[in-house]
A and B are shown apart, each in its own frame.
Chain A
């Protein structure tokens, strides 16, 4: 149980384009999904917290207009990187949880912006 998927697993795009990453909880209903970013050999950095049916809460320093998050259902959240630039290249990981319970992580999406 507690399986979280992400799609795509990796993506290469040109600078200026937008990229959408999907996060799905496959075997449970997630009241909350979290989006993280991870640079090589570093820890996870929380970008935003997303509750189903409401607007995402962004961490300080994360541009909400650049990283659009939608949590339309209890099993799906999406992160859209708008007008991507090379500095947005990173490993993006989502997690899903029922409120107050363990966060289970997806396999991550590696984004490379050329």
Chain B
């Protein structure tokens, strides 16, 4: 099965600085990758996704980078704001080979310092 790990369980960042959250996965057949943000007491909120035929995708203040060679995924948040404080999960799918189920990483808690 898929194993998904995060490099750091916590990240403290100064307001206005950029944040980088990293994630590693184990299955080279994985083809869909998603980042979710979860605030305390709420369900995960979709941030951005990327498929295996791409290596970079940008959204509003967020960028996801995918390195399939080393099976590594990262989320970059530009100009981090207090509202970005949350737990961030990467999720990986093996697509139809595993019924489109997601394997989640352990989560990185991001704390934004004023």
Contact = CB atoms under 8 A, between A and B. Distances in A.
Interface string B25-56: 00000000010100001111110010000000
A100 B96 contact: yes
B106 interface: yes
Interface residues of B, number: 21
Given A100-B96, A102-B49, A105-B36, A46 B43 contact: no
A100 B34 CA distance: 13
Interface string A70-113: 00000000000000000000000101010110111111101000
Contact of B44 (A2, A57, A105): A105
B42 to A, nearest CB: 6
Nearest to B95: A100
Interface of A: 2, 4, 6, 32, 34, 42-44, 46, 49, 57, 93, 95, 97, 99-100, 102-108, 110
11 contacts: A6-B43, A44-B89, A44-B104, A49-B99, A57-B99, A103-B34, A103-B91, A105-B43, A107-B42, A107-B43, A110-B41
